[in-house]
Amino acid sequence: MTTIPPIVPKKIFIGGYTKSGTTFMGRAFGLFNGVYAKGEQDYFRLFFKGMQDLVLAYNKNIAVVNKEVYDGRGSLEPLTNTSFRSLHDKTFKHIFFAGQPVPNDCVTIVEKSPHNIYWVEQIVKIFPNAVNICVYREPKAVFRSLIRHMADHRDPKFNDPDFAKRVNMLQGFCRRWEEYVSIIEKNRQNLKVIQYQAAADDNQALLDYVEKDILHHSPGLRAPVETLSKEHYLKSLPEDARAKSLVQTGPPKIKLTDTETATLERLCRAPNVEFDF
């Protein structure tokens, strides 16, 4: 009797600057059959360094035990890079599926966390076959969305462009933006770079691109492409949640001053790369 080997799901990590459209991109992947998408787990930001430190400490301990306890003839095996990758794979799946087995129909796992863009090198090291996606959105739109978030969830004073924390936030945003753009340029060969606005403007073209150039097969959709629109998403929310949602249609609710606009245009450049979509 021939045993059919289990499917090894492809891993996809979506990242980008906060408020760049990573949630939208995760929802796009989640429309495909056999694709399981979750967001904001921040696996690499929260687990990579801690596990690396534990493995280094374990291997150091093993070396001491083999030498001192077993008179230099100990045979305890240290963890290798291969076993380290395997440990990460099991831990990642355990967390992603909340301790449950990987579903039989799962062919692709998508983890969406904006911070993933800062961990591309580590992701490549641990999961060399994974696909890394960066969602890029122009800086003025990103900054407006960040201020809207801060005004709605942290302090309504962020609606005032003269509020000291908003002024400081603009300065910090411009510094971090250059770091973000530099990461994209440095890791371009390991990234698929998708422009948010292009994806939002043509949802069907985005899904066609994902199917052809990322999934490399045609799994079909579990829901119509229309469900990816902002309007459909907002209608799916309860009325009270809809009113508070940061997803919006129509004109931006945050107005940038001429000074803010000029600062963003002067200090926040686009990455010097060719976009994939």
* Mean per-residue pLDDT of the chain: 93
Q: pLDDT at residue 3 above 70?
A: no
pLDDT level of residue 7 (50, 70, 90 thresholds): low
Tell me, what's the pLDDT at 105? 95
Taking residues 72-87, report their average pLDDT: 91
From CA 161, how far away is CA 170, in angstroms rounded? 10
Q: Is 152 exposed, middle or buried (0-12, 13-18, 19+ CB in 10 A)?
A: middle
Lowest mean pLDDT among 93-107, 172-186, 230-244: 230-244
The structural domains of the chain, ordered by start, are: 10-267 (3.40.50)
> Residue 273 corresponds to which amino acid?
V
Decide: 160 and 166 in contact? Cβ < 8 Å.
yes
From CA 263, how far away is CA 258, in angstroms rounded? 9
Q: 102: which residues sit within 8 A by CB, 6+ positions away?
A: 9, 93
Using only C-alpha atoms, what is the Rg of the chain?
A: 22
Which has more pLDDT, 251 or 4? 251
Task: Kindly state the percentage of the chain with pLDDT values over 90.
Answer: 82
The closest alpha carbon to 134, from 109, 158, 151, 114, belongs to 114
Structure tokens at 135: 């969602």
From CA 99, how far away is CA 76, in angstroms rounded? 29
Decide: 112 and 39 in contact? Cβ < 8 Å.
yes
pLDDT level of residue 236 (50, 70, 90 thresholds): confident
The closest alpha carbon to 23, from 101, 137, 187, belongs to 137
Decide: 118 and 187 in contact? Cβ < 8 Å.
no
62 three-class SS? helix
Task: Kindly state the percentage of the chain with pLDDT values over 70.
Answer: 97
Q: pLDDT at residue 6 above 90?
A: no
From CA 130, how far away is CA 125, in angstroms rounded? 10
Taking residues 215-231, report their average pLDDT: 92
